[in-house]
């Protein structure tokens, strides 16, 4: 038997449970892995709360990004073999907070030896999001990019990708994140009331791109800083971004390979700030749910 964290009832964390199941077998186009690490994302608790709907039959396995070692491959899979180290997204909702799972081969990659299992497990969701946000808008070298929620899991990767592209970067976050943001080569602006005025102190002419990882009123307050609203892009609140003239995150096919390449070359560090064993997965999710993480949190089965 093999352990997996599931949602048994939609709502609060009391609906999460670690259960035993048969280690899942790969179907066509899938690869079975022994999980070595899984990244925790706000989507995990939002899904548990029913924010993405409550029609999926329960229990639903939790966890959307993983790294591990291939144990077997399904029909038609090329390029992966038992023993390979990989990273990717679970197939068929089989979850990543598990001892074993199955990945979609088309959304998986060989894990470069230079990248730890923990860091690799943060790339399929958080890493690709950071890549897409910084590439779906016109973000050429020399332009100015403002990041709201810059000190979190996606935000810290956005800062580094933007710096690697030669952009001038400003990160908005709470005071405890100043050191992390400045270390990424960005200017720091403290979040909260008056943040837009503090950004203007740095860039009186405004910014070219606003990458939003918070949404709501915090996004609305900063939006006037962007002269052309098509430069607003949000992973947190697509409907507000669209209302303001921007867009939600658009997924691109090459994002996983691209962000993995940047991490392998040492240009981006996903900043894994905490790791929890699978038996403490609830605490890992609670740490993300608290809303002020300073990087990526992972679960190590």
Three-point CA angle 248, 254, 256, nearest 5°: 85
Question: Residue 159, interface with ligand NAP (CB under 6 A)?
Answer: no
148 beta partners: 172, 212
The distance of closest approach from Cβ of residue 289 to ligand NAP in the complex, given in angstroms and rounded to an integer, is 8
The distance of closest approach from Cβ of residue 63 to ligand NAP in the complex, given in angstroms and rounded to an integer, is 14
Among 129, 134, 160, 168, binds ligand NAP (CB under 6 A): 129
Question: What mask of x and - would describe binding to ligand NAP in positions 206 to 235, judged by CB under 6 A?
Answer: -------xx---x----------------x
Task: Report the candidate in 121, 160, 152, 126 with the shortest Cα–Cα distance to residue 255.
Answer: 126
Question: Residue 291, interface with ligand NAP (CB under 6 A)?
Answer: yes
Question: Residue 43, interface with ligand NAP (CB under 6 A)?
Answer: yes
Closer to ligand NAP by CB, 94 or 235: give it.
235
CA pair distance 296, 123, nearest whole angstrom = 10
Residue pointed to by tokens 């491959």: 73
Question: Residue 292, interface with ligand NAP (CB under 6 A)?
Answer: yes
> What is residue 69's three-state secondary structure?
strand
Question: Residue 288, interface with ligand NAP (CB under 6 A)?
Answer: yes
Residue numbers 170-199 binding ligand NAP by CB under 6 A: 173-174, 177, 191
- Residue 173 phi/psi, 5-degree rounding, is -165, 175
Give the binding-site size for ligand NAP (rule: CB under 6 A): 26
CA pair distance 172, 159, nearest whole angstrom = 11
232 beta partners: 210
Q: Of all residues in this chain, which one has the CB nearest to ligand NAP in the complex?
A: 152
Task: Report the candidate in 77, 66, 201, 105 with the shortest Cα–Cα distance to residue 146.
Answer: 201
Query: Where on the chain is the footprint of ligand NAP (CB under 6 A)?
Result: 41-43, 125-126, 129, 149, 151-155, 173-174, 177, 191, 213-214, 218, 235-236, 249, 288, 291-293
């Amino acid at each position: 038997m093999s352990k997996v964290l599931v949602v048994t009832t939609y709502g609060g964390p009391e609906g999460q449970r670690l259960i035993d199941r048969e280690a899942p077998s790969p179907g066509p186009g899938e690869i079975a892995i022994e999980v070595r690490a899984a990244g925790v994302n706000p989507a995990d608790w939002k899904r548990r709360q029913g924010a993405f709907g409550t029609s999926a039959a329960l229990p639903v396995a939790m966890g959307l990004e993983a790294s591990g070692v291939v144990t077997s491959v399904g029909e038609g899979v090329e390029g992966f073999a038992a023993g390979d180290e990989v990273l990717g997204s679970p197939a068929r909702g089989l979850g990543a907070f598990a001892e074993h799972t199955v990945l979609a081969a088309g959304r998986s990659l060989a894990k470069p030896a230079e990248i730890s299992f923990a860091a690799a497990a943060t790339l399929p969701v958080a890493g690709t999001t950071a890549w897409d946000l910084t590439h779906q808008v016109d973000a050429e070298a020399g332009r100015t990019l403002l990041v709201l929620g810059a000190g979190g899991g996606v935000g810290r990767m956005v800062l580094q990708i933007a710096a690697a592209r030669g952009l001038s970067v400003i990160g908005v976050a709470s005071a405890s994140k100043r050191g992390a943001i400045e270390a990424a080569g960005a200017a720091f602006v403290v979040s909260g009331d008056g943040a837009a005025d503090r950004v203007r102190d740095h860039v009186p002419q405004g910014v070219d791109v606003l990458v939003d990882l918070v949404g709501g009123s915090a996004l609305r307050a900063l939006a006037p800083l962007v002269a052309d609203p098509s430069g607003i892009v949000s992973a947190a609140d697509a409907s507000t971004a669209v209302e303001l003239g921007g867009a939600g995150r658009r997924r691109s096919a090459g994002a996983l390979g691209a962000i993995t390449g940047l991490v392998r070359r040492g240009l981006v560090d996903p900043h894994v700030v905490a790791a929890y064993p699978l038996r403490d997965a609830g605490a890992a999710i609670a740490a993300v749910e608290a809303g002020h993480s300073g990087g990526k949190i992972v679960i190590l089965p």
